[in-house]
A = this chain, B = another copy of it.
Amino acid sequence: MTKSKETSEPAGGEQRRLQMVDIARLAGVSVSTVSRALNGSELVNAETRQRVAELARSLNYSINFGARNLRLQENKTVAVVVPYDARSRQHISDPFFLSIVGAIADALTDRGYDMLLSRVDAERLDQAAHWVDSGKAIGVILIGQWRQHDQLNDMAARKLPLVVWGGEMPQQLYASVGGDNVLGGTLATRHLLQLGRRRIAFFGDAKLPEVWLRRQGYAQALREAGVEVDAALELAAPFEPGVATEIVRQFCQVRRDFDAVFCCSDVLALLATQALRAVGRSVPADVAVVGYDDMPLAAYCDPPLTTVHQPVAEAGVALVEALLAQLAGERPALRTMPVYLMRRASAPDAAA
């Protein structure tokens, strides 16, 4: 392995970066004084402090955080990790996950933390631990638990500061924040039932904890209404549009004995709408569609999507808070956030 050096040296006519020793010399004081002044220490003479601070500012000095962190044994960087499907080499492009990342970025920034963003193979979520092991980050926020409940439990057992966005699972050791998936499933399904629909399909891969919970809510609502749960109306469609498109299309071609569908993501709902129209069925007249997430674009689709709204901004804050709580010594906790149904035209109140 030849060691490349391309990184180390900046351009040619580059002047060395300003350090404390430089501004110390210019101010005629010692580095310790500069350090104290810049950190607003009460120990240093107000006048000196002022002078040093101004000098530093005018020289556009800014501290070397690497050195500072090393000395202080401190680190204000959090790794945010988005899993991707290595088999289909398909990246997570689901708008919902992306907006969660944005919300986390905000929450982190507000609290003075930096965010290291990376991807990880959805089969090897445990690799996310590397960020903490290497000291690059103090903790990990993982977007989605996928099928790796056990890996996550192992990580938590190793005391890795970790929070995952996802559903609550039995015997869960790791901290998580998620929407109330059972409630979401119930709200969506009840709404469709109220519209008079009785043959309600379910699109989503129940091997994923969140989807599994949503299906519980779905089944529960059906039973409440005395409607039989028909496994033939369940389609294990994944979240990745590339893979899901064909699966959804086939299902819609083969089965025409449903009058509504509850989709476990808005993207899936879009796919379903398109597939239904392609086989000559209209939305919402023939088939009412309810999505999940209330992604930013949901209101601008045609028809605008009725969907289960997830509290993205609050989720970002909650994830960050949960991580900081662990860092402060608290035990990992599970948190479930309220969701509500956002009513739009794809499953309109005025029944067809």
Q: Which residues in A have some Cβ–Cβ distance to B below 8 Å?
A: 1, 6-14, 17, 40, 60, 62-67, 69-70, 72-77, 80, 91-93, 95, 98-99, 101-102, 105-106, 109, 114-119, 130, 133-136, 138, 159, 161, 241, 267, 270-271, 273-274, 277, 296-297, 300-302, 304, 324, 326-329
Contacts and interface: CB of A to CB of B under 8 A. Distances in A.
Contacts of A133: 60, 62
A135 B105 contact: no
Contacts of A274: 300, 302, 304
Contacts of A296: 93, 241
Given A11-B326, A114-B136, A118-B105, A300 B69 contact: no
Number of copies: 2
Nearest to A18: B133
A63 to B, nearest CB: 6
A105 B93 contact: no
A251 to B, nearest CB: 16
Given A7-B75, A72-B8, A99-B93, A301 B115 contact: no
B301 A12 contact: no
Given A8-B73, A296-B241, A117 B119 contact: no
A8 to B, nearest CB: 5
B267 A324 contact: no
Contacts of A329: 9-12
A11, A12, A159: which has the most chain B beta carbons within 10 Å?
A11
A300 B7 contact: no
